[in-house]
Amino acid sequence: MSSIDNAWIEGLPKIELHVHVEGAILPETLFRLAKRNGIDLPARNLEELRAWYKFTDFPHFAEIYQTFSKAITSAEDIHDMVWDFVKEQARQNIRHSEATFTALTHYRNNGIPFEEQLDAVRQAADRGLSELGTSLGLIIDIPRELATPGEALLIANWVAGAHGDGLVLALGLSGYEPGFPPEMFLAPFALAAEAKVPAVVHGGETGPAAYVSGAITSLGAVRVGHGISAVDDSNVLALVKERGVTLEVCPSSNVCLKLVETIERHPFRRLADQGVDVTINTDDPPMFETDLNNEYRRLAETFHYSKADLKRFALRAARASLLDDSRRATLVAEIERYSE
């Protein structure tokens, strides 16, 4: 077992590259928004809602997401959701987050224009930086199993128009992979690439190693979300290393979704030991009863990582961020100064 104390992990300046804003909604936030908007919940009080949040299986996971979507009906709701998200990130001493945000859901379900969504997020993000010292950038995703080809192009156009504003950092691709390989999304990612928008693509979570290589070679991904099936194919691992692609690994998520049997069998260490740039992330933390401090702790205990190891993973995340050079250098220096 690792001898690293909790206080050291909590104090470590951290960067999170793979977390879904909607999937990080706290039970308290959902309860408040549902009450405000007259949305029925499968719980009579906050205590019951917390119990309902605990992950059981994939259909339950989808049910929770659908409930989120119904409860967020206005730009004000988006602001409040993001402000609660930023506060929770700051509590964990996460100095910067690059969070996936599914704008299509709010546009399609409640007709909230993309520009209004961004304004609401920006207000919360600016407040988070000024009051709490934590920054937020967005990866606007195409939900692969939900978006029509026309909607995928619409999202790419949104991102191309907003990129460079300091908030929108990349075009993403998320969702359930089987039946939706990266090659199905060539057009929107070509449009984004033409506008010099980076691609950050979920791959190799519920899909095979070929989806990791497809994300890189077909869509130009600079980071791959999850990417754990890459460990099954030496050629894909070689490609990941050759291209310098960072994998955004989410250990507890993978175990809860039964993609990995136990934390002890998680391929995180095998990937790291083979020279892959892996980072530590949460995905949808309240659903998996975790946070980023807990993910660092679990990996340290499971794989006997030292403080120097954990600092190295934090530095990898900082260096793989899509921030401007100045802000990235500031974060790197802050982590390097942290005492071991």
Q: How many helices (H) and strands (E) does the chain have?
A: 16, 8
Q: Which residues contact 285 (CB under 8 A, 6 or more apart)?
A: 19, 23, 24, 291, 292
Q: How far is CA 169 from CA 109, 121, 184, 245, 276, in A?
A: 24, 13, 22, 16, 23
Find tokens 């100045």 and name the residue: 326
Q: Is 12-331 a domain of CATH 3.20.20.140?
A: yes
Rounded CA-CA distance 167/256 in Å is 31
Rounded CA-CA distance 328/170 in Å is 16
Query: What would the pLDDT profile of 64-116 be if each residue is shown by its tens digit?
Result: 888 888 899 999 999 999 999 999 999 999 999 999 999 999 999 999 999 99
What are 109's two structure tokens?
């379900």
Rounded CA-CA distance 306/301 in Å is 9
Phi-psi region of 216 (alpha: psi -120 to 50; beta: other; left: phi over 0): alpha
| Signed CA dihedral, 140, 125, 226, 282: sign only | negative
Rounded CA-CA distance 159/17 in Å is 18
- Cβ proximity of 228 and 236 under 8 Å: no
Query: The whole model's pTM is what?
Result: 0.96
Query: DSSP 3-state assignment of 280?
Result: strand
**pLDDT of 2:** 54
Per-residue pLDDT of the chain (340 residues; tens, 9 = 90+): 457 999 999 999 999 999 999 999 999 999 999 999 998 888 889 999 998 888 787 778 778 888 888 899 999 999 999 999 999 999 999 999 999 999 999 999 999 999 999 999 999 999 999 999 999 999 999 999 999 999 999 999 999 999 999 999 999 999 999 999 999 999 999 999 999 999 999 999 999 999 999 999 999 999 999 999 999 999 999 999 999 999 999 999 999 999 999 999 999 999 999 999 999 999 999 999 999 999 999 999 999 999 999 999 999 999 999 999 999 999 999 999 999 8
| Residues designated catalytic | 205
